[in-house]
Amino acid sequence: MKVPAKVLTIAVLFTASCTVGPKYVKPSAPVPPAFKESLPESFKETKDWKLAQPSAPSLPAKWWEVFGDPQLTALEQQVAAGNQDLKVAEARFRQARAIIRLDRSAEFPTVSGGASLAALRDSQNQPYFPIQTSTTGLFTLPVDFSYEADFWGRIRRTVNSAREETQATAADLATATLTIQAELAYDYFELRSADAEKELLIETAKNYNDALALTENRFEGGASPKSDVAQAQTQLDTTTAQETDIDVGRAAYEHAIAVLIGKAPAEFSLAARQLREQPPVIPVGVPSQLLERRPDVAAAERRTEEANEQIGIARAAFFPTVMLSATGGFEGASILNWLNWPSRFWAVGPSLAETLFDAGRRRAGSDVAIAGYDAAVATYRQTALTAFQQVEDNLAALRVLENEEKQQRDAVASAEKSLQLFTNRYQGGVDNYLQVITAQTTTLTNERYEIDIQRRRMDASVLLIKALGGGWDINSMPSLPSLKKG
């Protein structure tokens, strides 16, 4: 019985539309309804946003501008053009896009052609039937055509997998950019904190020098022992050494900033300036937003779908491969009859190949793909959990440090008052100089700790911004339709 051509066409189209393997469903992530840690009081004062609103505004793309430091802004703007790690990430993104085009080429036929010229001579010593030796020519001009019919969706899934990897690589680039920008801001505030601490030590050394002059005058007048002079000198020398030691850390941060913006440390320097900035108010939003604002979470989710495509590719190996091939051209014995119409030849037809025994290779390949998908899902969920942890950690740090800074400010005021009292009592001959030394040490320790708390608050602000994804959101990632052609 002859099957109608229309029925065959419909059957072929139906078969060609089949794609084996599981359909992707975005895995769930453990998203809490709200963050555990409460906001710092300074965050609650703003009226621009509310924590419970999903529409709360996110950070701007140039998030570092919320710190209001022109020097930091100028440095951050040099990262994209100068940082070598970002150039690596950007090259990998371009590489991933090129792989889409590479994989898409399998959706189209392969056509090849060539020409060959040869002179042939038969041997006189051929077995069985010796013939008279003759020399002939062989001129061929073939054109070959081959095409794999993607009945089971292997090629389509391969292309989709490349697109999803490209999306993930774009998110990797955003993650690298955010990481380097945050590292630059972190190092910058560490450097400014060192400047503030050095300025404090310089001013303290001046005060200690005045105290040394006081003890020397009292010693010369017979009002104080020589030990007071020695103690005052020791206090001054210790403070001077601490001031010098600050330069070690400051130089390291300055060198790190130079490398982050793509410069050799010898070509870069920052003038000293105190840390004047206060932590900005940061729109935190709700936990469910975090999955849309973290590029590393988005990259992990895209690789989960990519792993799902690999399962389909592995299952397609269980089905036969259908190839459509054709060849044609001209073949002649001499250049005179090479391109004549009677010299034409052609052959066309499909071929089907199916593996009958592979000792479990395809089954193992499928198991590998399934295990890879399970690992990708776990990675996605762990990345989301880590994101929540980082936000909670830095919210807690900002809240606690804000309260601690107020307490430390009171401690500094008390220490300074105590120092003034003991100094006055020493000048009046009521107390010995040990009391002054103790008060000086306590005051300096509290003043340095106050600077350290401010540094930690700035660092926690940077880390919170990084934990929230900076100014990135999922709409910044190239969509699948835009990657259709790679």
Residue 56 scores a pLDDT above 80: no
- Residue 169's pLDDT band (cuts 50, 70, 90): very high
Say what the pLDDT of residue 443 is: 97
- Of 176 and 53, the structure prediction assigns the larger pLDDT to 176
Task: Please tell me the total count of domains within the chain.
Answer: 1
- Of 137 and 300, the structure prediction assigns the larger pLDDT to 300
Residue 38 scores a pLDDT above 50: yes
Taking each helix axis from N to C end, the angle separating 361-427 and 295-316, rounded to the nearest 10 degrees, works out to: 170
Give me the mean pLDDT over the 118-125 stretch.
Answer: 74
CA 335 → CA 19, 133, 330, 391, 408, distances in Å? 50, 21, 11, 79, 99
Q: Answer whether residue 333 is part of any domain.
A: no
Boundaries of domain holding 416: 18-111+151-311+363-483
Give the model confidence (pLDDT) of 291-300 as tens digits.
999 999 999 9
Say what the pLDDT of residue 285 is: 84
Give me the mean pLDDT over the 21-44 stretch.
Answer: 88
Q: Answer whether residue 4 is part of any domain.
A: no
Residue 129 scores a pLDDT above 90: no
Residue 11 scores a pLDDT above 50: no
Q: Answer whether residue 129 is part of any domain.
A: no
Q: Answer whether residue 457 is part of any domain.
A: yes
The mean predicted confidence, pLDDT, of the chain is: 89
- For residue 102, what are the contacts with CB-CB under 8 A and spacing of at least 6? 162
Give me the mean pLDDT over the 372-381 stretch.
Answer: 97
Q: Answer whether residue 88 is part of any domain.
A: yes
The whole-angstrom separation of Cα 365 and Cα 377 is 19
Say what the pLDDT of residue 333 is: 85
Q: Answer whether residue 13 is part of any domain.
A: no
Q: Answer whether residue 79 is part of any domain.
A: yes
Give me the mean pLDDT over the 130-149 stretch.
Answer: 79
Say what the pLDDT of residue 117 is: 86
Angle at 192 between CA 188 and CA 194, to 5 degrees: 115
Residue 47 scores a pLDDT above 50: no
Say what the pLDDT of residue 119 is: 81
Give me the mean pLDDT over the 448-473 stretch.
Answer: 96
Domain holding 89: CATH number?
A: 1.20.1600.10
- Residue 132's pLDDT band (cuts 50, 70, 90): low
Q: Answer whether residue 25 is part of any domain.
A: yes
CA 221 → CA 85, 215, 228, distances in Å? 66, 10, 13
- The answer to which of 9-23, 63-77, 359-373, 415-429 has the lowest mean pLDDT is 9-23
Say what the pLDDT of residue 134 is: 63
Give the model confidence (pLDDT) of 312-331 as tens digits.
999 999 999 999 999 999 99
Residue 14 scores a pLDDT above 50: no
Say what the pLDDT of residue 339 is: 86
pTM: 0.88
The whole-angstrom separation of Cα 354 and Cα 340 is 40
Say what the pLDDT of residue 394 is: 96
Say what the pLDDT of residue 8 is: 39
Angle at 451 between CA 233 and CA 184, to 5 degrees: 120
Residue 55 scores a pLDDT above 50: no
Residue 5 scores a pLDDT above 50: no
Give me the mean pLDDT over the 334-354 stretch.
Answer: 88
